[in-house]
Amino acid sequence: MVSSQLRLDIFSQPGPASPTVAAAVEALASQSGIEARGAIFTRAEVVDFILDLAGYTADRPLHRLRFLEPSFGGGEFLLAAVRRLLAAWRASDGQAVVDQLGNAVRAVELHRDTFAATRDALIQLLRREGIAARAAVTLADRWLVQDDFLLVPLEGAFDVIAGNPPYVRQELIPAPLLAEYRSRYPTLYDRADLYVPFIERSLSLLAEKGNLGFICADRWMKNRYGGPLRELVASRFHLKVYVDMVDTPAFHSHAIAYPAITVLGREATGTTRHDHPPPLATAHLTRTPARPCRPSTPPRAECACRPPAPPPRPSPARPRRSPSEFLPPYGPELDPVELVWAYLKTTALANDAPADVAEVHRHAARSLHRLRRRYDLLRCFLTGPALSLFSPR
Ligand SMILES: C[S@@+](CC[C@H](N)C(=O)[O-])C[C@H]1O[C@@H](n2cnc3c(N)ncnc32)[C@H](O)[C@@H]1O
């Protein structure tokens, strides 16, 4: 089991292990282009939606909770969270700002110039909100960390973690740094993108009953490379919300493939809310022309092998609605491969009595071979999770 190898107490891990790793981090911090840093910035409406879903709302005593933004970029999540924090603090007694709020936020950013610009923006925001100049600088310096989130030690646990982690393919990560990440994060498996160990580390920092709300590619839920992360989530966490953002322009610049909002909680069980399209006021989100839309799914085959499939997507002519449905923890229904195995286990191999492991292997291979001719089932394994039989244009 991969999950048993996953380490959740990484506070004891040291910082950058070797001069080569430190040099690679420094190179990324000082000179890398947008692609190497995976910098794509999130629209304000989407940020507010995620903070709401993750429970970072001003009607809670946010000054007593801890908030983390692992890769704050231009501060889209950070500044919105700070506004909510100040509102909650004022609604309590609004006293001793540094003492009361100094521990309430941590936010990390690798890129030095981005860090400096957002630090300035944060200080200006605090000043506009009536915080004295010295206290504003003190808070910014307590809250903000310029470093690599995957390597920097961070103390304590966090009640809410939210953000938009970097999208960086492994080929773009310097070799010594990639080796260091791999040695620390078992979920950086196969072709996994950098956002995958970001989720792993964030989960390791989550307080009991805490929530992690990210917008990122949803491929970890479906692809081979997401296997270890899915095991980790299934063993100790709970997928509370899954919002498919494929047809919604969530970012300021070019988009990533298959974006989704996920909220993961440090809780063993519960239901999952699944939305498509998102219940957002999307009318005023400017559409992003660069991103291809997925074609509509082919007619849905009736399927007896799984619970009712999600409702079909509305056509552009119809008003946007937000159907919700409840799925079991971590939502294996979203993965066609899981559906294939579920079918084999509950039907083709259900009453099998193999003599040894080699026979299990032979029987499974034979059943898979037969399944190749069951177009009705194959179609329903794909259309169930609202995937198309056609490639995106
Ligand atoms: C996708 S952007 C998100 C920015 C912001 N959170 C938002 O939602 O608009 C990712 C940010 O992560 C930063 N980044 C990349 N690698 C990082 C790392 N290893 N540790 C911390 N930040 C990193 C990039 O510089 C970039 O600003």
Are the C-beta atoms of 181 and 188 separated by less than 8 Å? Answer: yes
For residues 97 and 33, which has the higher predicted lDDT (pLDDT)? 97
Using DSSP, state whether 392 is helix, strand or coil. Answer: coil
Point out the least confidently predicted range of 41-50, 51-60, 219-228, 363-372.
Answer: 363-372
Share of residues in the chain with pLDDT > 70 (%): 76
Tell me, using a 6 A CB cutoff, whether residue 37 lines ligand 1.
yes
Are the C-beta atoms of 206 and 22 separated by less than 8 Å? Answer: no
Spatial distance between the Cα atoms of 218 and 244, rounded to a whole number of angstroms: 8
Gap from CA of 304 to ligand 1 centroid (Å):
43
- Against a cut of 0.75, is the pTM above it? no
Query: Can you give the residue ranges of every domain in the chain?
Result: 2-330, 334-383
Neighbours of 370 (CB within 10 A): 10
* The pLDDT of residue 16 is above 70: no
Tell me, using a 6 A CB cutoff, whether residue 77 lines ligand 1.
yes
Q: Which two tokens stand for residue 353?
A: 């009595």
Using DSSP, state whether 265 is helix, strand or coil. Answer: strand
CATH 3.40.640.10, applies to 2-330: no
The mean per-residue pLDDT over the stretch 271-298 comes to: 51
The mean per-residue pLDDT over the stretch 383-391 comes to: 60
* The pLDDT of residue 300 is above 80: no
Spatial distance between the Cα atoms of 283 and 263, rounded to a whole number of angstroms: 24
Tell me, using a 6 A CB cutoff, whether residue 329 lines ligand 1.
no
Four-residue CA torsion sign, 256, 82, 80, 62: positive
Q: Atom 16, ligand 1: which residue's CA is nearest?
A: 37
* The pLDDT of residue 299 is above 50: no
Spatial distance between the Cα atoms of 181 and 149, rounded to a whole number of angstroms: 11
Neighbours of 96 (CB within 10 A): 11
Tell me, using a 6 A CB cutoff, whether residue 118 lines ligand 1.
no
CA distances 138 to 62, 67, 102, 122, 133, Å, are 19, 17, 8, 11, 9
Spatial distance between the Cα atoms of 104 and 119, rounded to a whole number of angstroms: 16
pLDDT at 305: 31
Gap from CA of 173 to ligand 1 centroid (Å):
14
Instruction: Tell me the longest C-alpha to C-alpha distance in the chain.
Output: 76
Q: Which two tokens stand for residue 14?
A: 């040291």
pLDDT at 84: 98
Share of residues in the chain with pLDDT > 90 (%): 52
Spatial distance between the Cα atoms of 172 and 34, rounded to a whole number of angstroms: 11
pLDDT at 189: 94
Point out the least confidently predicted range of 261-265, 351-355, 363-367.
Answer: 351-355
Q: Atom 19, ligand 1: which residue's CA is nearest?
A: 148
Point out the least confidently predicted range of 12-16, 63-67, 85-89.
Answer: 12-16
* The pLDDT of residue 13 is above 80: no
Within its chain, how far is the Cα of 92 from the centroid? 32
Contacts of 350 (CB under 8 A, 6+ apart): none
pLDDT at 385: 65
The mean per-residue pLDDT over the stretch 41-58 comes to: 93
Tell me what the pLDDT averaged over the chain comes to.
80
Q: What is the pLDDT of residues 314-331, one digit of tens each?
A: 444 444 555 554 444 445
pLDDT at 115: 97
* The pLDDT of residue 308 is above 60: no
Residue of 101, 84, 109 whose CA lies nearest to 139 = 101
Ligand 1 atom at minimal distance to the Cα of residue 40: 1
Residue 1 CB-density burial (10 A; 0-12 exposed, 13-18 middle, 19+ buried): exposed
Are the C-beta atoms of 164 and 77 separated by less than 8 Å? Answer: yes
The pairing of beta strand 144-146 with beta strand 67-69:
unpaired
The mean per-residue pLDDT over the stretch 115-129 comes to: 97
Q: What is the pLDDT of residues 154-171, one digit of tens each?
A: 999 999 999 999 989 999
What's the first-to-final CA gap in the chain, in angstroms?
38
Q: Is 386 left (phi over 0), alpha (psi -120 to 50) or beta?
A: left
